[in-house]
């Protein structure tokens, strides 16, 4: 729990003096014991137990410590592998050895062991050595996301990549009825290849279990309802996740908590507003703010209903590709799409041509339209009727883009159209892009319709227009940005499809 800068606080209910030797630490504080007494919640490193043996685990070196215990790099001598062993804090180091707390901590370690998920630190062993509780877990190379974010915000594609992994782990925990209770960047550890794992279930509990006394967690990441004495839940974990993602995105916390006493800080925490950047960074999609606002809602009812709903939004905001496609691939894909549309247009454009030829030959022979044979007039009218449907083809292409269907060219060359952040282009922009990209076919379909209706001069005016539009749209690819006009206008780009590798 975060106390004032001097590391001291006072319970406003009982006057109990509380001191803490470190900030942003995870602690459980119970209020209202002896009035005026002082309790020190030490976060000092405590004794170094390197070299000791706990069962078949030999402690080698200390990796870190927290409010619940210390973590050591250890050798599992039975399997000859290195693991991380967490030893619960002894009373001399500020811990508690009550049977209730020891049992609770071991039960929670067992609960974490049940959580078989690729983004959760794996628990190998839970036990005691001379009645001293400890557990062995997966040893990860690290670092934590807190360490990564010390130098500033992480790239957006990394943030959303980690967010999807953490959300998946919390969804599995929620399915088992397990609440983590202390989601923060220092509890998220890299396992290599941008895989993050959620660890430190020291404050985890089963949902709907017996209420806890006092409050537990890290104040800077704690949901407002917990500061009021509420019980941890999946939605309080969501709030902590929101704080964590905000921190990774902008390199700072979403708010600042003030107060000279612990109670003042808790009261301030409930009313503090999220401080989004005044000028939104160009490197972060504007839609990301909506997700953060929902996660950081003061009322649990205003947050996501469940992790499935959260993951839908995260997936929609995940970049589908960040590597720009080469000009050759894009050109070949465009050529395939143009040929495909031309083939589809052919059955509708030929009837207009035939009808025009019939009319021209009969007119050249001097026959008036009223003197045409009946069957010939009917045949010519039906050909013209078919040709009137020519605009359906480019319209169908625009509809397919609106639905998110990839064109044949992009499918064959594994390309995706994205915005500046690598996200799927918005529907409105996808339709506009299709209209501009296939403008020659829109012009051609209008010319075919005009010809079918007898406006022969329209063909004369439209004939050169489609080639001019095609040149205007494609010539900008020769510029320094290598983008066609439709991509320059809509802020889109074509990238290699890497979506499958990000699932």
d(CA 21, CA 7): 6
In this structure, are residues 28 and 37 in contact, taking their beta carbons and an 8 Å threshold?
no
In this structure, are residues 136 and 125 in contact, taking their beta carbons and an 8 Å threshold?
yes
Nearest one of 199, 276, 288, 183 to 235, comparing CA atoms: 183
Residues 6+ apart with CB under 8 A from 467: 440
Cβ atoms within 10 Å of 308's Cβ, excluding its own: 11
Enclosing H/E stretch for 136: strand 132-137
Q: Which of 182, 200, 313, 487 is catalytic?
A: 182
Our answer to whether residue 193 is catalytic in this structure is: no
Nearest one of 41, 97, 487 to 262, comparing CA atoms: 41
**Tokens standing for residue 12:** 């406003």
Task: Give one word for 290, left, alpha or beta, with left for phi > 0 and alpha for psi -120 to 50.
Answer: alpha
In this structure, are residues 203 and 28 in contact, taking their beta carbons and an 8 Å threshold?
yes
Angle between helices 392-402 and 427-437 (to 10 degrees): 150
d(CA 32, CA 214): 9
Strands 215-217 and 415-418: unpaired
Residues 6+ apart with CB under 8 A from 346: none
- For residue 70, the cross-strand partners are 65, 87
Greatest alpha-carbon span in the chain: 117
d(CA 346, CA 410): 22
d(CA 385, CA 402): 28
d(CA 118, CA 195): 9
b/e burial code for range 492-502 (CB count within 10 A of at least 16 → b): bbbbbbebeeb
Tell me, letter by letter, the H, E, C secondary structure of 310-361.
HHHHHHHCCCCCCCECCHHHHHHHHHHHHHHHHHHHHHHHHHHHHHHHHHHH
In this structure, are residues 66 and 43 in contact, taking their beta carbons and an 8 Å threshold?
yes
Tell me, letter by letter, the H, E, C secondary structure of 381-402.
HHHHHHHHCCCHHHHHHHHHHH
**Tokens standing for residue 283:** 């490197």
Helix (H, G, I), strand (E, B) or coil at 123: strand
d(CA 242, CA 255): 12
d(CA 89, CA 67): 8
Catalytic residues: 182
């Amino acid at each position: 729990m975060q106390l004032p800068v001097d590391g001291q606080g006072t319970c406003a209910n009982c006057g109990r003096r509380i001191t803490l030797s470190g900030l942003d630490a995870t602690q459980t504080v119970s209020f209202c014991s002896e009035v005026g007494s002082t309790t020190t919640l030490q976060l000092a490193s405590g004794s170094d137990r390197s070299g000791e043996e706990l069962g078949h685990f030999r402690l080698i070196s200390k990796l870190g410590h927290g409010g619940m215990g210390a973590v050591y790099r250890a050798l599992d001598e039975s399997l000859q592998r290195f693991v991380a062993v967490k030893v619960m804090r002894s009373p001399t180091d500020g811990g508690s050895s009550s049977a209730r707390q020891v049992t609770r901590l071991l039960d929670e370690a067992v609960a974490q062991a049940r959580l078989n998920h690729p983004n959760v630190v794996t628990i190998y062993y839970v036990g005691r050595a001379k009645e001293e509780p400890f557990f062995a877990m997966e040893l990860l190379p690290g670092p934590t996301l807190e360490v990564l974010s010390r130098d500033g915000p992480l790239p957006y594609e990394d943030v959303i990549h980690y967010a999807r992994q953490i959300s998946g782990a919390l969804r599995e925990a929620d399915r088992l009825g397990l609440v983590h209770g202390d989601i923060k960047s220092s509890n998220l550890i890299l396992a290599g290849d941008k895989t993050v794992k959620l660890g430190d279930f020291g404050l985890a509990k089963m949902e709907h279990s017996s209420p806890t006394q006092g409050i537990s967690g890290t104040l800077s990441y704690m949901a407002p309802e917990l500061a009021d004495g509420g019980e941890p839940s999946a939605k309080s974990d969501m709030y902590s996740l929101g704080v964590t993602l905000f921190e990774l995105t902008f390199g700072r916390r979403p708010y600042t908590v003030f107060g000279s006493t612990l109670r003042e800080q808790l009261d301030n925490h409930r009313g503090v507003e999220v401080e989004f950047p005044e000028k939104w960074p160009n490197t972060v999609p504007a839609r990301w703010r909506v997700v953060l606002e929902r996660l950081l809602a003061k009322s649990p009812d205003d947050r996501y209903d469940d992790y499935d709903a959260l993951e839908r939004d995260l997936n929609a905001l995940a970049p589908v590709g960040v590597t720009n496609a080469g000009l050759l691939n894009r050109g070949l894909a465009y050529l395939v799409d143009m040929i495909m549309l031309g083939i589809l247009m052919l059955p509708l454009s030929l009837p207009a041509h035939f009808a025009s030829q019939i009319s021209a030959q009969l007119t050249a022979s001097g026959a008036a339209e009223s003197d045409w044979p009946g069957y010939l007039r009917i045949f010519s009218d039906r050909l013209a009727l078919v040709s009137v449907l020519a605009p359906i083809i480019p319209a169908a292409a625009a509809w397919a883009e609106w639905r998110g269907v990839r064109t044949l060219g992009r499918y064959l060359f594994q390309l995706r159209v994205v915005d500046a952040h690598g996200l799927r282009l918005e529907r409105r922009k996808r339709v506009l892009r299709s209209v501009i990209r296939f403008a020659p076919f829109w012009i051609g379909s209008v010319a075919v319709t005009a010809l079918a209706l007898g406006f022969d001069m329209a063909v004369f005016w439209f004939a050169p227009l489609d080639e001019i539009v095609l040149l205007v749209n494609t010539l900008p690819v020769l510029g320094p940005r290598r983008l066609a006009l439709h991509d320059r206008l809509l802020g889109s780009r074509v990238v290699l499809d890497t979506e499958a590798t990000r699932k």
